[in-house]
Amino acid sequence: MPRVWVCRGHQFTIGPRPLVMGIVNVTPDSFSDGGRFLDPAAAIDHGLALAAEGANILDIGGESTRPGAPAVSGADELARVLPVVAGLAKRAALPLSVDTTKAEVARRCMYAGASIINDVSGLTADADMPGVVAATGAGVVVMHMQGTPRTMQQNPVYGDVVGEVAGYLEARLHALAAVGISPDAVCLDPGIGFGKTLDHNLTLLAHLDAVAALGRPVCLGVSRKKFIGTLCGREPADRAAGSLAVATIAAARGTAQVLRVHDVAATRDAVVLLAAINRARRPDVAAGRITQP
């Protein structure tokens, strides 16, 4: 039976073509596009543009999680994201995700029209967050992070990064199930760049099958991240090609089913081509008996 990801009023069937989650940062200080879409109207227009480019989900965030980023109050975060969620809920015909660790921000955004909570703390930063997820029926992205955005890159240490990340995510699945959150509502994120060195990131990417083996869709967020710049010698604005390469490799291996990206159009084209090539490998297609998708 195909896996599903149940997100409030939406249900995704997880198949060979990954979902594309477009990033809408309503922040002054995100590492890649901070300040560009701080105005709600600009953020809404950007979200609509990403939807037109082929995004399956829009992920709206009002607090930067770049290394060393200062904390933002719940009131300030709500002031940034709530009008954007409400505006896109009226105008964009696709599910909305809110990128937050705060239960009240998540709750208000759910009632404004969001369907997914993307929590970089794995629903641990706010004790009320699991209750919000359970009460609203939201889908949730549960991420691994060592430390907090303020401290995570100071000196991340692991004995076995793959085993520890996969073990943490498995434990979170069980803990959330115990408080009424179905595994069908959960998508897992290994947290590339969140409390990991370059070698940790590469090791995780090479062994994402350990996370995929937990039986839930895997969300991969590598878009424009520092490790790509380190390896390729590129500034954030010039990391689209490297970001696309990493996401496509993971998708081709079947170890990432949701790709969280800034560059939606290019990623959408890549997953369309990947799905078409994979389809052509089927014996009935190769024999010429099926000519239509």
Known catalytic residues are 225, 260
Cα separation, 180 vs 104, whole angstroms: 19
Torsion of CA 166, 172, 178, 179, to 10 degrees: -160
Size (the chain), residues: 293
Residue type, 134: A
Cα separation, 175 vs 125, whole angstroms: 14
Nearest one of 90, 95, 123 to 6, comparing CA atoms: 95
Nearest one of 50, 46, 108, 120 to 77, comparing CA atoms: 108
DSSP string, 243-265: HHHHHHHHHHTT--SEEEES-HH
Structure token digits, residue 115: 């369907």
Structure token digits, residue 112: 């404004």
CA distances (Å), 39 to each of 20, 94, 214, in order?
24, 21, 39
Q: How far out from the chain centre does Cα 249 lie?
A: 17
